[in-house]
Structure 1
Amino acid sequence: MSRVVFVLVPGVHLLDLSGPAQVFDTARDLGQPYELTYVAERELVPSAQGLTLNARTRWPATGPDDLVVVPGWRSSPPHDGPEPGPHALERLCAHHAAGGTVAGVCAGALALGRAGLLDGRRCTTHHELQDELAARHPRATVVRDVLFTADERVVTSAGIASGIDLALHLLAVRHGPALAARVARNMVVFARRNGHEPQAGVMLRHRSHPDDVVHRVQDLIDARFAEPLSLTYLALTAQVSERTLTRLFTRATGGLTPLRYQQALRLERAEHLIGQGSTVEAAAREVGFDDARMLRRLRARAL
């Protein structure tokens, strides 16, 4: 079982917290063994929106497969309000040092900075806090006008609704795009915003449409992108003709055929594997290509 620990401070923004929490809770409903835990310095935590939350004051044990998330809080100039205390910062550092992933939503990036986790890394936060983040942590690279960044198991997002984008990205990296697609569909967040960040993913970039036939076919391709999937088989599954499926799919995804969509998923997964140290040949086999020549052609085309 993987644990997701949310670190709460007084004035926490509900959507900074509830968006990512809903993503992982939905993944749990779909069969992934996630346990959600909420910690704070005091048991009662007032939110920025007036709702008081209950949290535990003792941190659970965490391992490399666990995630620690710091949701944002109400922070107005001069931004001298409550922030996570020394114990929480120590736990953030220790968790990351042990191989775990840490995430900051909105002002949560300030906490990661205070813990020393942003030095030499790319990060982002809400646009109203970006100047302050850059001033506080000059060794960090603050990326502006993006929804989220991920750099060596340190993930930050612009905040508010973008915490959902961050959490779906983490699901896609951990479990593949098919689960992230199912969670997004369950949460009715097809109209995804993705900026220019490559972490947004092929699946997320082409889910911003209401066509249920195309969503069903995408669900199938997302789950089995490494397998041969003929247009005939996809059309039979969708109970439409091949010509109709191609027309609907191309219109919904902005010009992609089902085959091109599958190739894009394979390429994205292969690039991730190569980035983790896999050879081109091994990555090609892993994502379903008979040999590496097609993968090399697709990579060259993308460049």
Structure 2
Amino acid sequence: MSKVVFLLVPRVHLLDLAGPAQAFGTAADIGRGYELSYVAEREDVPTAQGLTVRASTDLPALTAGDLVVVPGWRSPMADGTASLSPATLSWLAGHHAAGATVVSVCAGADALGMAGLLDGRRCTTHHDVQDELARRYPRAVVIRDVLYVVDGRIATSAGIASGIDLALHLIAVRDGPDVAARVAREMVVYARRNGDELQANAMLRHRNHLSDLSHRAQDHIEARFAGPLPLADLAQDCGVSERTLTRRFADATGMTPLRYQQVLRVERAEHLIGHGATVEAAAHAVGFADARMLRRLRSRG
């Protein structure tokens, strides 16, 4: 059994809270070991949307297997209304120091910064406050305009709906991609959007299936799509034959592993070109020997 404790701050955004809570709650409903609870410095917590929620004021003792999630709140950095007490920040930092994971959604990253947990770490937050986060915590490495970032035992998301993506990622890491896909399906959301990509991408379109083998193969491909990835090596990594991998991957995604790798390369190249890279530079960055193959694949649509 793992505890998932949500630390609530006044004017918390409901979806920042409800999205991850629904994901972990759904995982608990299907038999995974999660126990959800909610804590705050005051029992009654007003939300940004006008609903008041109730939380415990007792900060629980936690183990290394437990999670603390800090949802975002309205105007967290501009007006200084969301400062947390030294005792709360010490509890948050102590939980991480004990070997556990701390998670933020949206501007909840500010709480992690106040606790000293962003120093020297990659992180992200909502695009409206990412500049302020970088200014307030200059030792943090703020990754801009991505869905979520995981740096060791610190995980931060861009906010609002991306908190669901981060929760599904954490469930996939702890319980397996098949469980995360089942949770996403129960929630009627797309499964497994990767943190460092745009929202409408191949990692979104081709992850809405329940094949654990294909999810594991996609994980391997996405981690190394810019380099050589022989089918024999991929099949060995997944513990199956090349024929089995190709058949089951195609059944789940509608394409071969090689074609999936090409789609990822082209999408990444398009992203680089859109940010000023030449076609030749983008082609080399994503693993093509020259721009001819990239041009050919782009012309296919």
Length-normalised TM-score, structure 1: 0.70
Distance (Å, rounded) in 1 between the aligned partners of 2:250 and 2:137 = 50
Give the direction of change, closer, same or farther, for the CA distance of 1:185–1:247 in structure 2 (3 Å limit).
closer
Q: How does 1:190-201 map to 2 (within 5 A)?
A: 190=190, 193-194=193-194, 196-197=196-197
Preserved CA contact (<8 Å) 2:168 2:192 = no
Distance (Å, rounded) in 2 between the aligned partners of 1:69 and 1:195 = 17
Preserved CA contact (<8 Å) 1:192 1:208 = no
Preserved CA contact (<8 Å) 1:194 1:205 = no
2:205 partner SS: coil
How many equivalent residue pairs?
245
Distance (Å, rounded) in 2 between the aligned partners of 1:122 and 1:74 = 23
Distance (Å, rounded) in 1 between the aligned partners of 2:130 and 2:204 = 29
Query: 1:30 is aligned with what amino acid?
Result: I
Give the root-mean-square deviation of aligned CA atoms: 3.4
Deviations 1:147-205 (A, max 9, x none): 1111120111111101011111111111221111111111111276546359x9xxx95
| Equivalent residue, structure 1, for 2:256 | 257
Give the direction of change, closer, same or farther, for the CA distance of 1:148–1:223 in structure 2 (3 Å limit).
closer
Deviations 1:274-294 (A, max 9, x none): xxxxxxxxxxxxxxxxxxxxx
Q: CA deviation at 1:29?
A: 1.1
1:107 partner SS: helix
Unaligned runs of 5+ in 1: 238-244, 251-255, 262-300
| Equivalent residue, structure 2, for 1:47 | 47
Distance (Å, rounded) in 1 between the aligned partners of 2:139 and 2:206 = 40
Residue of structure 1 aligned with 2:205, choices 192, 203, 208: 208
Deviations 1:247-271 (A, max 9, x none): 8842xxxxx327987xxxxxxxxxx
Q: CA deviation at 1:71?
A: 0.4
Distance (Å, rounded) in 2 between the aligned partners of 1:87 and 1:77 = 20
| Equivalent residue, structure 2, for 1:37 | 37
Give the direction of change, closer, same or farther, for the CA distance of 1:196–1:107 in structure 2 (3 Å limit).
closer
| Equivalent residue, structure 2, for 1:4 | 4
| Equivalent residue, structure 2, for 1:99 | 99
Is 1:128 the counterpart of 2:128? The answer is yes
| Equivalent residue, structure 1, for 2:298 | none
Unaligned runs of 5+ in 2: 218-236, 261-286, 290-301
Q: How does 1:180-195 map to 2 (within 5 A)?
A: 180-190=180-190, 193-194=193-194
Preserved CA contact (<8 Å) 1:113 1:119 = yes
Length-normalised TM-score, structure 2: 0.71
Is 1:228 the counterpart of 2:225? The answer is no
Give the direction of change, closer, same or farther, for the CA distance of 1:76–1:233 in structure 2 (3 Å limit).
closer
Distance (Å, rounded) in 1 between the aligned partners of 2:76 and 2:66 = 31
Query: 2:102 is aligned with what amino acid?
Result: V
